[in-house]
Amino acid sequence: MGQLIEWPEVVTEGKTLEDCRNMLRDALQEMIKAYKQQHKEIPVGRALIEQIPIEV
């Protein structure tokens, strides 16, 4: 499961970590388009926070 920090309402999941990353990239592009259409300020984020579950 993945989530965009700047847009916490965007949550997605994929079968693999790479699938999830790709889906988040797609979601980010769609959010940028929507924000531009609505003349909203696009959040600027420069950090990657990634949590990976560990089986204990």
Q: What is the DSSP string of 3-56?
A: E-SSSTT-EE--SSHHHHHHHHHHHHHHHHHHHHHTTPPPP-------------
12: region left, alpha or beta (phi > 0 left; psi from -120 to 50 alpha): beta
pLDDT, residue 48, reads 63
pLDDT, residue 36, reads 92
pLDDT, residue 2, reads 86
pLDDT, residue 44, reads 77
Give me the residue spans of the domains in the chain: 1-56
- 10-residue mean pLDDT profile of the chain (56 residues): values are 82 89 88 91 72 68
Q: Which two tokens stand for residue 8?
A: 């916490």
pLDDT, residue 5, reads 80
